[in-house]
Amino acid sequence: MALVENHKPNDSLRSDDDDDENIIYVIDISNGSFPEQMPNRIESGDTIEFKTNQTDEYDIFQVYKGEDNYYRVNNGFELLNIKNNTTKNNRRILLSLNLHQSKIELYFCIIPSSQREIILKSRKCLNENCEKNCLIIHKNEIKFSLSDNKESQKLILHKGDTIKLDWISKRGNGYRIEEKKFCPISGGLYKVEQTSEIITNRTQSKGNFTKTFNEFGTSFLFRLTETNQIHDIIVCIIKDNYHIKHIEITDINIQPNVISIEQNDSIIFEWNTIEKQTIVQIEPFFIDQTNQQSIELKTEGKHFFWPNEPSCRGYMIHKFHETGIFCFKTANNQIGTIIVEPKITIHSFPIFGDQLILKMKTTDLIQFEWKMSDSQDEPILITIDANSSVVPDTTGGLTGIFDCSIHKCVKVEPFFRHHFHTCEAFIFNIPQHGLYNFSYSDNRDDVVLSVIVEKSITNHRVTSNEQNMFEPNTLVINRYDQVWFNSLSTTLTNIYRTDEYGNHLEENKPIFQPQLNSVNYFMQQFQQTGVYYFSMDISHDHSKKSRTLSPLAIIVLPEIRFHYKLIRLSDFDSQAIITNINDFIIWQFEQIIRFNVIQLRTNETLQDLVSCHDRAIPGRNRQCLAVECIMPGTFYFANPEFERVTGSDETRLISTIIIDPPFSRACFLITDQQFIPNVLYVTQNETVSWILLNNDQYHRIYVESDENKREMNENNRIDRSIEQYINDIHYLYTFDQCGQFTIRSNRFNNTATVIVYPDNIIRSEKKRAQSPELIEEIDIVSQYGTQVHLQCSNPDAIIYYTLDGTLPTRHYKNVYAYNSNEGISFVKTGLHVLRAYATENEKLSSTVFTSSPTFVMANEELEAIRELQSMWNNTKITISAAIQYPNKLYGKIEVEPTNSTDLIDHFELYVDDVAQRVHLSSSDVKFSAEGFAGGEQYEIHVIAYPKENIVDAEPIQSNKRAFEIKREIQGGAPLISLAVSNEQSTIFLMWAHIGDHVNQYIVYVDNIETTTISEKDFNDFFGIQFHGAQQKKRYILHVEAKLKDSNEIRKSNIITVNPPLEMPLKEQLIDRYFAYITVNAESPPPDMRLEIIHLDRFTNRRPEPKRTIESLPITTGLRNAIPTISFEQNSDGITLSLATKSPVISDFVESYRVMVDGEQYGELLSPQDESKI
């Protein structure tokens, strides 16, 4: 139920920084009342800011006028303790009112805060504190008179706003308005069909157009000429909602008597009647059986009701914090209904930010954002990449989800694309769950933006007609979904939970009883999987009962879940992912990837497994992959990106997905003669399934309680095939009662037994068997004939297992009973997953144990592997190298004997014993490495890694080559290079001091001077860490050295950087500076001048030099926002103080993060927060 927590309508007021989208009117109350000169027109959606120059504190709260007196409004607008230094946000109210009338009056009482307690004791307020304090709030009007000039513009609107356009052409030109929407699938426009509003399909020199926007999103109003040319465009972005709606109670009705709002929105209840009125919340689904009256709910702090005596004038506000159906009645028994729906969230997704993945729900909206200045090459256009997006198989693909066949989209004209670019925002809803990859340009090398849309609670509708028949009569939903029952019958009928024969589960206890004067909505949310039956009024007259229709069946499947796997450096979880049908698997990568996943066959050979990456298909650059779990089974996936991102070379990393069929943990198999198993122990409210091993669709199953006999009239039994809705399942039964049940068949005499325990007995008496455990570890690769063993805490337990990943609870031919004397032998080649569970007498079966996957080699492959191991152990790797001035190296790898090259999977280059991330293939024996830092000494070598089919082979290291990079480029200027940073938004510039003849270094970003290093700060090496670099934005860096005597300027080489920079190292370094080196398979041009490296190693390696390191934001305006911190120790810890150079840092800084020992401490800080923590 809704809670009253003293929340006011202005609780959701935005922060002080949101002034750009709000009109704010300032009202001076220094004299204790509103001034005589008030704003001409205040509209819904505007903000009122009260100010005072007094040091005394004032309270302002909403009142209503009843006859000649003013009364405080329960939960109305209020601001407390206002004085001259109160922050703006605590002096503002947001008038987020959804008005149906043209205007309303709001009265306020202004009193000194010291008098608050006196007023609270009495509802009545003094007239002199209220009568002058009236705000007239007008309904928001958006009117435009258009001329012959081109007047393209962008409007930010609320849901429910109406726009009115009119035009008169002085030139006699004809115009018409056409609303269109942009389709992200086709990248085209489609026309929105208009309904009852003012519109014309022919051009007019004088005309008008009216449109009310009842949905969030982005619409384009095209003004078209007589020749159908685009004259101008009005962009309407509907991104906000009015949070307060109004219900008026009259002597004869409630207007409106059904109203829908969002969670955390408010309702104004108001009446001005002849007869005295009151309102009280009532139970929406039940009535009092004794007097057949509504059940009133009047718990203070929990329900909403008029707390005073009935009156002819009333006004109260209530905020609804929870979703659901809420009903209320008036003094004359009128009933109103309030439907509170989940709050819709609009997720902001900046195109040119660091974020590449966004998660949302199907009920939410996404807002892509950009600045016109961000796109340097072409106008922005948001489209979905169909090849890399993954959506539910049953939806008809992307075109089915977005109704493209109905829209008939038209290709976007270049003019519109440019106009779309100027919008800087695009809002829309994605109605179906899945992974959607969006591109924003025609450049296929750009990284797509991934939107993961998870399924929200879905609302399903069931109607009942005059014959008390439900339509549809069978409904398949997911757990946590909601079913809304709506009666079209003029006869009021109760709804009951029943069994499949129509028998009440609880005699004479309906779950819904309609009420007079009510719309009689009924909503049921399903928290558990199973099958549920519902019927309308059922007569106890047996002569009528035979004519009762079959009940409604609602089959509740598991909720659709999204399983996330993060793929990052040195981290890969090979454990199988256990899922249900229709679930989604999302692999999120720490780095940008390109290749799609490869699905492996279970009978892959070792050679197939080794070469599987050759089957990977490249696609768009992105950061995540997805698959939908369509059908039951065990599936194996590989991807070269798994190994590249994790830096693992030990094995072909495989991600295993096991998709279990629904209702399979407790199930019977039906043969021609019996049920398997014979006895099943389950928990209360658990659902049991029956699976046919033949195709006898007329096979009937009967569930009979041994204690509580229910009538089973075949004429009333539900007659529908469950298999039509759930593949492979013939019959379902949810055991809502405890006890013993007998299972019968109409095809054979053998019976089965189901014993149902309550949860408390299962826990207290330990009525669940312990899961079996694996004694030995299962390796990623297993040799033919490998044996493993299972054990259980109870030696009398019977263990059943499978080796193909299927559930052993379904006792098919692939399910084996475990024999502890024999163990389990892997004698079938290919990929396998062991799953096992245990059963004990008079106990529920255990949970299912699932092993990690293993690849079982064929027997004949073992001898070949030993031969390959011998060849590998006799292989020698040699490296030679040469330097191209100033800092590029060319290398050559030689393998002896040459036929050992076939054994090599790849080479890794090591610089100063640090592995570079790039892998060189066995054919890439010539390579380049560029980006070495000037003045530094380096030693390089390579390591050869064996292919996967060479088991237990160690990598082979080559000889080393040593060299030093000169500090200067030609002309005596410093050689600059990049260093490795662990943050993608940081650009790390470094160079070496070139001599005592220099007295200053000047650093430039995009030819703008950013910092100067003077002689007093000189060291042997310099580094600048530029923070806050924007992704996909190009930066140009260089350094100038200023000489002492001549003031001559020597300009360094120029470096162009396009963040994000991928980590070039196999593993991140901590507390060490390292050059950003790029490695490529490349041979030097034949005419290039190279300096051959002859040195194997430095006998006396130079010690780590002294370095001057400075940190700067790369954006000029941010530099004044870098805080200087200090602290004072006290008894509770320390007080941290922040000081900045600029008072307008909010123009550049959204938030600060306090870091303690490398970890975030507390919440993010706003620039407006207190400077002491």
pLDDT in tens, 309-365: 999 999 999 999 999 899 999 999 899 999 999 999 999 999 988 899 999 999 999
- CATH match of 773-859 with 2.60.40: yes
- CATH match of 667-764 with 2.60.40.420: yes
DSSP string, 907-923: EEEEETTEEEEEEEETT
Calculate ∠ Cα 528-530-531, nearest 5°.
130
To the nearest whole percent, how much of the chain has pLDDT over 90?
Answer: 59
Q: Which of the four pLDDT bands, split at 50, 70 and 90, describes residue 482?
A: very high
Whether 600 and 831 have beta carbons less than 8 Å apart is answered as yes
Of 490, 549, 947, 555, nearest to 725 by C-alpha is: 555
- When comparing pLDDT for 123 and 692, which is higher? 692
Q: Which of the four pLDDT bands, split at 50, 70 and 90, describes residue 717?
A: low
Cis-peptide into 256, omega within 30 deg: yes
H/E run at residue 760: helix 759-764
- When comparing pLDDT for 394 and 832, which is higher? 832
Alpha-carbon distance of 961 to 978, in angstroms, equals 22
The 10s digit of each residue's pLDDT in 46-92 is 999 999 988 889 999 999 998 889 999 989 999 999 998 899 989 99
Calculate ∠ Cα 151-153-157, nearest 5°.
140
Q: What is the pLDDT of residue 818?
A: 96
By the 10 Å C-beta count (0-12 exposed, 13-18 middle, 19+ buried), 911 is classed as: buried
| pTM attached to this predicted model | 0.78
Question: Residue with structure tokens 């899945």?
Answer: 434
Q: What is the pLDDT of residue 584?
A: 97
DSSP string, 33-90: S--SS--S-EETT-EEEEE---SS-EEEEEEEEETTEEEEPBT--EEEEE-TT--GGG
- CATH match of 143-240 with 1.10.1400: no
The 10s digit of each residue's pLDDT in 130-153 is 999 999 999 988 998 999 999 889
- CATH match of 562-660 with 2.60.40.420: yes
Whether 468 and 493 have beta carbons less than 8 Å apart is answered as yes
Whether 236 and 221 have beta carbons less than 8 Å apart is answered as yes
Whether 66 and 97 have beta carbons less than 8 Å apart is answered as no
Alpha-carbon distance of 90 to 113, in angstroms, equals 15
**Buried b / exposed e along 433-449 (16+ C-beta atoms within 10 A):** bbbbbbbbbeeeeebbb
**Residue 377 predicted with pLDDT over 90:** no
Phi and psi at residue 394, to the nearest 5°: -90, 0
Q: What is the pLDDT of residue 1121?
A: 61
Fold of 877-1114: Immunoglobulin-like (2.60.40)
Structure tokens at 351: 């195109």
Q: Which of the four pLDDT bands, split at 50, 70 and 90, describes residue 3?
A: very low
**Residue 765 predicted with pLDDT over 60:** yes
Structure tokens at 549: 């229709």
Q: What's the one-letter identity of residue 419? A: H
Which of helix, strand or coil describes residue 119?
helix
Whether 741 and 754 have beta carbons less than 8 Å apart is answered as yes
Whether 571 and 593 have beta carbons less than 8 Å apart is answered as no
Which of helix, strand or coil describes residue 204?
strand
Calculate ∠ Cα 1151-51-315, nearest 5°.
100
Q: What is the pLDDT of residue 15?
A: 36
**Residue 163 predicted with pLDDT over 80:** yes
Torsion angle of the four alpha carbons 419, 420, 426, 430, in this order, in degrees rounded to the nearest 10 = 140
Alpha-carbon distance of 1062 to 641, in angstroms, equals 14
By the 10 Å C-beta count (0-12 exposed, 13-18 middle, 19+ buried), 194 is classed as: middle
Q: Is the dihedral of CA 946, 950, 955, 959 positive or negative?
A: negative
Cα–Cα distances in angstroms (integers) from residue 370 to residues 186, 422, 449, in the given order = 21, 9, 13
Alpha-helix runs per DSSP H in 587-714: 606-610, 640-646
**Residue 14 predicted with pLDDT over 50:** no
Q: What is the pLDDT of residue 690?
A: 93
Cis-peptide into 472, omega within 30 deg: yes
712-715 long-range Cβ contacts below 8 angstroms, 24+ apart = 712/501, 713/501, 713/502, 713/545, 713/546, 715/546
Region of poorest pLDDT, from 214-218, 324-328, 356-360, 496-500: 496-500
**Residue 511 predicted with pLDDT over 90:** no
Of 343, 444, 402, 18, nearest to 187 by C-alpha is: 402
Q: What mean pLDDT is predicted for residues 888-914?
A: 94
Q: What's the one-letter identity of residue 1027? A: H
DSSP-assigned letter for residue 610 = H
Phi and psi at residue 871, to the nearest 5°: -60, -40
The 10s digit of each residue's pLDDT in 544-601 is 443 456 789 999 999 999 999 999 988 899 999 999 999 999 999 999 999 999 999 9
**Residue 200 predicted with pLDDT over 70:** no
Q: What mean pLDDT is predicted for residues 642-669?
A: 89
Of 867, 915, 898, 881, nearest to 1069 by C-alpha is: 915
To the nearest whole percent, how much of the chain has pLDDT over 70?
Answer: 92
Q: Is the dihedral of CA 484, 489, 491, 493 positive or negative?
A: negative
Half-sphere exposure of 1 (CA within 13 A, CB side): 19
Domain 143-240 matches domain 459-557 at the CATH topology level = yes
Q: Which of the four pLDDT bands, split at 50, 70 and 90, describes residue 685?
A: very high
Q: What mean pLDDT is predicted for residues 980-987?
A: 86
Alpha-carbon distance of 661 to 689, in angstroms, equals 11
Mean pLDDT of the chain: 87
Cα–Cα distances in angstroms (integers) from residue 1090 to residues 885, 892, 1082, in the given order = 7, 13, 14
**Residue 224 CB neighbours (<10 A):** 16
Whether 497 and 532 have beta carbons less than 8 Å apart is answered as yes
Torsion angle of the four alpha carbons 488, 490, 495, 498, in this order, in degrees rounded to the nearest 10 = -80
Q: What is the pLDDT of residue 354?
A: 86
Domain boundaries, the chain: 16-138, 143-240, 244-341, 459-557, 562-660, 667-764, 773-859, 877-1114, 1116-1160
Phi-psi region of 542 (alpha: psi -120 to 50; beta: other; left: phi over 0): alpha
The 10s digit of each residue's pLDDT in 392-442 is 987 788 888 888 777 778 877 778 888 899 899 999 999 999 999 999 988
**Residue 241 predicted with pLDDT over 60:** yes
By the 10 Å C-beta count (0-12 exposed, 13-18 middle, 19+ buried), 817 is classed as: exposed
Q: What is the pLDDT of residue 1046?
A: 86
The 10s digit of each residue's pLDDT in 564-575 is 999 998 889 999
The superfamily (CATH) of domain 459-557 is: Cupredoxins -  blue copper proteins (2.60.40.420)
Structure tokens at 385: 């990449």
**Residue 294 predicted with pLDDT over 50:** yes
Phi-psi region of 711 (alpha: psi -120 to 50; beta: other; left: phi over 0): beta
DSSP-assigned letter for residue 117 = H
Alpha-carbon distance of 682 to 756, in angstroms, equals 5
Whether 177 and 223 have beta carbons less than 8 Å apart is answered as yes
Q: Is the dihedral of CA 640, 644, 645, 648 positive or negative?
A: positive
H/E run at residue 404: helix 404-407
Q: Which of the four pLDDT bands, split at 50, 70 and 90, describes residue 718?
A: low
Which of helix, strand or coil describes residue 872?
helix
**Residue 653 predicted with pLDDT over 50:** yes
Region of poorest pLDDT, from 195-204, 739-748, 824-833: 195-204
CATH architecture for the domain at 244-341: Sandwich (2.60)
Cross-strand partners of 222: 178, 233
Alpha-carbon distance of 652 to 221, in angstroms, equals 55
Q: What is the pLDDT of residue 379?
A: 87
Alpha-carbon distance of 700 to 178, in angstroms, equals 60
DSSP string, 159-175: TT-EEEEEEE-TT---B
Whether 669 and 811 have beta carbons less than 8 Å apart is answered as yes
Whether 99 and 158 have beta carbons less than 8 Å apart is answered as no
Widest CA span of the chain, in angstroms? 117
Question: Residue with structure tokens 């303790």?
Answer: 81
Structure tokens at 671: 């043969």
